[in-house]
Amino acid sequence: MKRKSKPNFTRTMRLLIAGFLLLVLAVISFYFIVRSQKPPENVLESKQITEQKVEKKEHIVHSEVKGERENFRMRADKHYVGDDNKYHLEGKVEIIDFGKDEEQDVHIYGEEVTYDKNLNHFVLIGQSRVIYKDLTIEAGFFDYYKKREVFKGSKGVNFSSRRLTGYAKVMVYSLGEESLVLGRRVRLQIRPGSGALPLLVKGSRLHYKRDKKTGEVVGKVKLSQGQSKASAESLEFTLTEDEEDLRSISLRGGVRASLVGKEESQREIKADEIYLEGFNELSRISSIEATGNCRYISSTPSGSSLIIQAESLSFVFDREGDLERLDASQRISMIEHWEETGEERTMEGEEMSLLGKTNVLNIRGRESERARVSFQDNEIHSADITVDLENDNLEAKRGVKAVFKGREGKKSFGFFSKEQPVFISAQDMRYIGAEKRFFFNRDIKVWQKKEMLLSEELTFLKESGKVNCRGGVKSVFVQKMKKKEEEERLEVSAEKMSFHPEANIITFEEKSSLRVRNVDLRAQSVSVHLEEGGEIMTIVAQGEVRIVQEATEGRGERADYELKKEAITLTGDPVVVDKDRGMTRGDKLTFHIADGRITVENKEQERSLTVIKS
């Protein structure tokens, strides 16, 4: 069942996560926006500003010093009290809130600023900007409410830093609640330091709660990077306590991501919700959980693909980004397609787990519906199926049902016709990919229409069609009789059986027996010789042959059963014993199944013929 160019599942998932890591940069960048909005801790006290209207003063500089250092400064071309009884700063206004060190200084620039006498409400009119470290925020209008500890920006808010640029119609930052809100046409663009294409995030609203280190983007959220895209109704994220790393991210509502890579072509994942969790000290994804109508698609440039569908999908990664484990549950379907051969393998079940290091996949079914693995010419059903994706080894346990489909140009299952499917039931089964060998164990039943094979152990070589059985072997053959145009049922039993397709012979050994109509034959071995079409030509029994037909018993060393003649010929010093006529010897005894006659031939008596029963 192994094919070339199989999609590498571990590598595919690693590339899928690379796209989400870029989203991490966007989320962490919100943290810098939050810090940039920190208002002055010590503002100018109201008693320092006169309540009287004054003439316009030009090129004023006002500063506040507490202790040995300056902590607040205002500079403007003009300063006056207007008719609105507000204080006005005009022309190249600059307000500086000095932090604990130079890197924490906040600079506010504008063309016009008004504030009340109590320094509670500052209004920045016209295009203004705030600078903190390498982050710049610009807006057409700013409000700062000191008592409420709220900053508001409107008429278009732009922000940028070394790696980040963004836009929103409005912005609200509450110092008391430690929350940031960006609203209406939110856009974020991240420029990765690696030189990769920028990542663009769009939404209607962003809300970040700094005290809880959680945030949310809602309203037709879209992410894009080059040809790679993702979308959802909402996005939630959580940062670590120091706000330096991503802890988790959740995409909800019709989540869809399409990632286009340079080598692997395209990967898609769809779900109602996708939840990602990261390592605390590293900006790396440790796990992904997708729930609700999940669908994962990976395709290679050659056209080969991998598709997984389930109600829930879970991926766990190590610190190097390699897949450690995949889990899926409820209505699972996993389809592998190889473009070069046109072949497919489908795996279905209720629970599925994949160990990334070993690439071993386990599929479990439920009571009403078993796990299933289907390939081009066979299908396996069982309660528990394990598949090694590297070498295609397969193991099925706890009640196996298999179907081998007839395919033109392919070997049939043993001596059964390849024109019709062959069905198998057993307790357990194994498949060795390198040898293309099937092993069935315990309570085995193989059937095709009315023909059947029973045993305790069965081996089938897929390439050659050879079959070996052991333990309580029983075969039922149904042959059409040309003379009477009816079917003949034959039963052959033994402890061992082997089918040799190159000679078209089935050999039964150890306690072998043949039963047809009222004739019971026993011997050390029984060989069934088949014609090209699978019809039985002759059956040969050898070694201590005994034939019982009603009250008559024949003994010899060899018996040949010719189905077309409906006769069994016994040779090898044969003897027939009849309870009425006694014992009769001859060179050849023939049992005529159709009418029950037994004829005896003797060469020494000039080939005399004796009929001892009719």
- Cα R_g (the chain), whole angstroms: 43
Residue 455 has pLDDT above 50, yes or no: yes
**83-118 pLDDT, tens digit each:** 888 888 888 888 887 766 666 677 888 889 898 887
Let me know whether 421 and 358 are in one domain: yes
Let me know whether 441 and 479 are in one domain: no
Let me know whether 482 and 575 are in one domain: yes
C-alpha to C-alpha distance for 352 and 349, rounded to whole angstroms: 7
Answer whether residue 38 is part of any domain. no
pLDDT at 31: 40
Residue 235 has pLDDT above 80, yes or no: yes
146 in the Ramachandran plot: left (φ > 0), alpha (ψ -120 to 50) or beta?
Answer: alpha
pLDDT at 459: 96
**328-362 pLDDT, tens digit each:** 999 999 998 888 778 888 999 999 999 878 889 99
Amino acid letter for position 588: K
Let me know whether 358 and 419 are in one domain: yes
Q: Is 452 helix (H, G, I), strand (E, B) or coil?
A: strand
Name the more confident of 373 and 130. Answer: 373
Mapping DSSP onto H, E and C, the string for 462-498 reads CCCCCEEEEEEEEEEEEEEECCCCEEEEEEEEEEEEE
**63-81 pLDDT, tens digit each:** 767 667 777 788 888 888 8
Residue in the structure block whose two tokens are 């006005």:
88
**23-36 pLDDT, tens digit each:** 444 444 444 444 44
* Boundary-marking domain end, from 446, 478, 503: 446
**141-175 pLDDT, tens digit each:** 888 887 777 778 888 888 777 666 788 888 887 76
Compute the mean pLDDT over every residue in the chain, rounded to the nearest whole number: 80
**481-506 pLDDT, tens digit each:** 665 567 888 999 999 999 999 899 99
pLDDT at 147: 75
Answer whether residue 319 is part of any domain. no
* Boundary-marking domain end, from 412, 446, 480: 446
Q: Give percent of the chain above pLDDT 90.
A: 30
Let me know whether 364 and 486 are in one domain: no
pLDDT at 193: 55
Name the more confident of 567 and 14. Answer: 567
Q: pTM higher than 0.85 for the full model?
A: no
Answer whether residue 587 is part of any domain. yes
Let me know whether 473 and 413 are in one domain: no
Let me know whether 488 and 586 are in one domain: yes
Residue 41 has pLDDT above 50, yes or no: no
Let me know whether 523 and 606 are in one domain: yes
Let me know whether 441 and 523 are in one domain: no
582 Cβ neighbours under 8 A, 6+ residues apart:
none
Amino acid letter for position 355: L
Name the more confident of 549 and 199. Answer: 549
**376-409 pLDDT, tens digit each:** 888 999 999 999 988 889 999 999 999 998 655 5
Residue 438 has pLDDT above 90, yes or no: yes
Mapping DSSP onto H, E and C, the string for 558-601 reads EEEEECCCCEEEEECCCEEEECCCEEEECCEEEEECCCCCEEEE
Answer whether residue 435 is part of any domain. yes
Domain count, the chain: 2
Answer whether residue 130 is part of any domain. no
C-alpha to C-alpha distance for 167 and 153, rounded to whole angstroms: 11
pLDDT at 175: 65
Name the more confident of 109 and 136. Answer: 109
pLDDT at 26: 46
Answer whether residue 480 is part of any domain. yes
570 Cβ neighbours under 8 A, 6+ residues apart:
545, 547, 554, 555, 556, 558, 559, 576, 588, 589, 590, 591
pLDDT at 491: 96
| Residue 516 lies in domain | 466-613
Let me know whether 421 and 499 are in one domain: no
Let me know whether 495 and 605 are in one domain: yes
pLDDT at 335: 92
- Give the mean model confidence (pLDDT) for residues 361-372: 89
- Give the mean model confidence (pLDDT) for residues 282-305: 80
**175-202 pLDDT, tens digit each:** 667 777 888 888 877 665 555 677 788 8
The answer to which of 136-150, 337-351, 439-453, 464-478 has the lowest mean pLDDT is: 136-150
pLDDT at 14: 47
pLDDT at 413: 78
Q: Which CATH number fits the domain that encloses residue 429? A: 2.60.450.10
* Boundary-marking domain end, from 377, 411, 446: 446
Contact 429, 421 (CB under 8 A): no
Answer whether residue 398 is part of any domain. yes
Let me know whether 530 and 578 are in one domain: yes
Answer whether residue 239 is part of any domain. no
